[in-house]
Amino acid sequence: MNTFERRNLIIKLLKENGTVLVSDLSQQFDISEVSIRTDLRLLEKQGLLIRFHGGAGLLNTPQSEDTETKLEERYSLSQNPKNQIAYAAAKLIKEGNTIILDSGSTTMMIAHQLLKIKNITVITNNLPAATILSDSPDITLVLCGGTVRHKTRSMHGTMAENALQGIRADIMFVGADGVDPHIGLTTFNEGYHISSVMASVSSKVVAVVDSTKFNRNGFNVVLPMNKLDLIITDRDLSPQHKAALAGLNLSLKIA
């Protein structure tokens, strides 16, 4: 397969799924992640996609009602667990809600789904998600100012946390690098104190984590389990992990 054919296939996958991940494309095409990032960078320059940390999303374009229905079906049937999780997460949101999106690729995918919902407010420190949501006149978008953490393309620090003072949200969506039923959500990055602040101002805290995260433990805690109300994950979650979660005071949804 030549470069032209590969890039056309990337655009086709974007149209089918809404997002693509560098790691998935690297495995599918059996080439390095460096080459995939080069493809995505060039396609972004052509105005065909928008890149985010670890992948890319389809630019928001006007669609007919029939097309939107087909896209919803594709999200729900997609083989990418993160797309399935994002689709299930968006189903929790009602018109008029205030939502907090923490940093991460899965929460970014939720942003794509939020474009279908009118009259909502979204508060986020997730720069790729903010870029996606900024195209919608039906969404009130609030950004947490602060220091940019380049690795995750998200805002952190005292300024970002202070932006949440006096805020009350209906739902917070949070991701993680690892999930431990005894410890909570963990990350391999620096401390995520802003996640605790976000959780404290939210009526409901929802973790959006694919099943592979249950086999990992980061060295920093994002949120302990007792701060979560619901975990949304995919159907590959092992029976052992389901049993471990069953004893906790939270709900589990398989997307």
pLDDT digits (tens, 9 = 90+) for 180-198: 998 999 998 876 799 999 9
Same domain, 52 and 70: no
pLDDT confidence of residue 52? 80
Same domain, 119 and 40: no
Quick one: DSSP state of residue 24?
A: H
pLDDT digits (tens, 9 = 90+) for 24-33: 899 899 999 9
Return the CATH number at 17: 1.10.10
In total, how many domains does the chain have? 2
Element spanning 21, H or E: strand 19-21
pLDDT digits (tens, 9 = 90+) for 231-240: 999 999 999 9
Contact at 8 Å (CB) between 49 and 58?
yes
For residues 88-111, average pLDDT: 94
Same domain, 250 and 130: yes
Same domain, 123 and 96: yes
Distance between alpha carbon 129 and the CA centroid of its chain, in Å? 8
Q: Which amino acid is at 215?
A: N
For residue 29, the enclosing domain spans 3-57
pTM of the model: 0.73
Percent of the chain with pLDDT over 90: 60
Residue 219 to residue 192: CA distance in whole angstroms: 11
Q: Which residues contact 214 (CB under 8 A, 6 or more apart)?
A: 178, 179, 233, 237, 238, 241
Q: Which two tokens stand for residue 96?
A: 């008029």
Same domain, 195 and 227: yes
Instruction: Classify 145 as helix, strand or coil.
Output: coil
Same domain, 41 and 87: no
Residue carrying the six token digits 């947490």: 144
Same domain, 140 and 225: yes
pLDDT confidence of residue 191? 65
Return the CATH number at 220: 3.40.50.1360
> Mean pLDDT for the chain?
87
pLDDT confidence of residue 192? 77
Same domain, 148 and 41: no
Same domain, 174 and 76: yes
Q: pLDDT category, 59, cuts 50, 70, 90?
A: low
Q: How far is CA 63 from CA 67, 109, 228, in A?
A: 6, 18, 35
